[in-house]
Amino acid sequence: MNNFKLEKGYPCKCGATPLNDGVLFAFESDSDNCGIILKNKKSKTITRIPLSREYRNGNVFSVIIKDIEYDKYLYKFYSDEKEFADPYSYTLVGNEKFGLKKDNYEIYSSIVKLDDFNKDEKPGISFENSIFYLLHVRGFTAHSSSKVENKGTFKGILEKLDYLKDLGITTLELMPCYEFEEFEKISKDNSFMVDTTDYKAENKVNYWGYKEGFYFAPKASYCATNEPVKEFKDFVKTLHKNGIEVVLQFYFPDKVKQHKIYEVLKFWLLNYNVDGFHLKGNKIPFSFIANDPLFGDTKLLYDYIPENEIYEAAFVPTKRNLSSYSDAFMYQMRKVLKGDEGTLKDLVYYTKNYPEKSACVNFITNYYGFTLNDLVSYDRKHNEDNGEKNVDGCDYNFSWNCGIEGKTKKSLVMKLRKKMMKDALFLVFSSKGTPLILAGDEICNTQNGNNNPYCQDNAVSYINWNLTAEASEMLEYTKKLIALRKSDLNAVLNREFSMLDRAHIGYPDLSYHSDEAWKADLATYNRHLGIMYSSLDKGNVTLYYLAYNFYWKEITFSLPFLPVSAKWDVVFSTGDVKEKEEEKEETKQGMKFELESRSCAVFKVTFSKDLLGNK
């Protein structure tokens, strides 16, 4: 028996909503034997409140508990014999410690009154000007070497804010940071997006979080305080003040209803003012969401963009807010990087083509698969620590260990690996599309060959911030590459190409070259290519020539001729660039240079249009 006064509610909003005179509770159940369980925070007294059919509308039960001091209670629901935490809860209690498995532990929900929406100003960065940085909230600073006070939390990320700004990234993409339980049973199918817990060992933790979760609640174990709602709001606002966007990953299994998916995204957009969503799942109502004006300036990322379902045939959006996010670039560019035969056509494709109405995100590593360091250090996956006899994870990585499997101190191998890591990032940043870096790649982070660390809540998955000389060099290289993309390459890559001289400057806006200028040889046995971009601005002609050599020997390139007083300058390179001595004077005007094996370089020249005709 309880003394709570009940009043029929309204089923328009599930969860627990504080009102002026009580709390509205609403939840789904197809049973008449259901109700609410209240737990007094102080006395720990449990009160069950059964609900009769008069509180039912369809399969939604709703009731107002009058004059309840809601800050004194936790709650959950029951239906027949099953007790369950509120899937619409804003804050959960009982799962504050990540990976702490307890016997007979219970999860309740707090009754939270959300503050009035106080929208801060978003950075509003276009896809064309974005640099994505993908991280796991816990893994980013959990390692002792991170030197932050609040390890593995949102606040821990903010403690690395100066680092992120100095690096030059514009957009943080966070792996699932909504509430989920780390332990459960699953099937044997362990792919990058399955509900991943162990089918052999009950103590295996779901480190990634790709499973059905409590989608309305920030993950309490990723918080340094006991106020997840406030902490996450402050997290987003702080990043916005520093010009950095926040994009959240959400994984929705097939059983999650589409209307709930929409409600979840709308909630995080309106209550936390996040900048975008990377949606994962097979039954995402992407076209419906993309057509909602509320999401008109929100970044929406998915495996593919069904443009014909979203836009009319002749319509082209003034600002792209939709983007594809697929593996295609990653696997093809890994083949290019290794120097596989017949890959130059793929390089041409990704430096030229771009969707007309949407964007695309390019990456060569992601959370599923090898890190950048491991990509050039391992031929095979090494997932034995996952407890599945190395059968989990992808077998096809298109990686190369540069001659020795795993760690080595051989200087020639280390030098080659370093060069290939630089080339890999260069491929990402010199292609059309939005570049993405996997957190830690810029400092040579390793997972020791594990390409599927979904259950590794330890140093395997944590970023190690102890910088070796190699890591420090790679960090500085990445900063310069990002700066190059922002200052130079964006200007030429973020436009449509005709491969014609539309500016009447004697050079097409895009052209391809090889050993000889103006003659691109894409034969299957070739592994080098020159790409030139031209532009005209305020009477000045600017040319960029990007040279790619993925062959194991140096290659001689021929640069296009320039006007007599104009000279090519090397503005960026991953290897040695040598002018051909016998043609040194001619080279400065466009003749020949030699590029070291497995290297890339960027040449630039700017001259007045008035000089044209003096070639």
Instruction: Please report, for the chain, the start and end positions of each structural domain, with discontinuous segments joined by +.
Output: 5-110, 127-493, 510-611
| 3-class DSSP state of 416 | helix
Confidence (pTM): 0.94
Tell me if the domain spanning 510-611 has CATH number 3.90.180.10: no
- pLDDT lower than 50: segments of the chain: 185-201, 586-589
Nearest 5°: the CA angle 219, 13, 3 is 90
Residue 97 contacts by C-beta under 8 Å, 6 or more apart in sequence? 221
411 is written with which tokens? 């200087």
Check residue 195 and give its pLDDT: 42
127-493: CATH topology: TIM Barrel (3.20.20)
Distance of CA 33 to the CA centre of its chain: 44
Per-residue pLDDT reduced to its tens digit, 362-399: 999 999 999 999 999 999 999 999 999 999 999 999 99
Answer yes or no: are the C-beta atoms of 600 and 554 closer than 8 Å.
Answer: no
Q: How far apart are CA 86 and CA 98, in angstroms?
A: 20
Q: How far apart are CA 252 and CA 193, in angstroms?
A: 10
C-alpha distances in angstroms, 426 versus 28, 256, 420?
51, 39, 10
Q: Are strands 555-558 and 592-595 parallel, antiparallel or unpaired?
A: antiparallel
Task: Evaluate whether 127-493 and 510-611 have a shared fold.
Answer: no
Give the amino acid at 513: H
Residue 491 contacts by C-beta under 8 Å, 6 or more apart in sequence? 535, 542
Whose structure tokens read 């096809």?
A: 396
Check residue 204 and give its pLDDT: 87
Residue 536 contacts by C-beta under 8 Å, 6 or more apart in sequence? 503, 505, 542, 609
Q: How far apart are CA 124 and CA 306, in angstroms?
A: 24
Strand partners, 108: 93
- For 162-243, where are the E strands, in sequence order? 171-174, 178-179, 214-218
Radius of gyration of the chain (CA): 28
Per-residue pLDDT reduced to its tens digit, 567-597: 999 999 999 998 866 555 544 445 689 999 9
Check residue 188 and give its pLDDT: 43
217 is written with which tokens? 């609640």
Q: How far apart are CA 534 and CA 562, in angstroms?
A: 12
In the chain, the N- to C-terminal Cα span, in Å, equals: 96
5-110: CATH topology: Immunoglobulin-like (2.60.40)
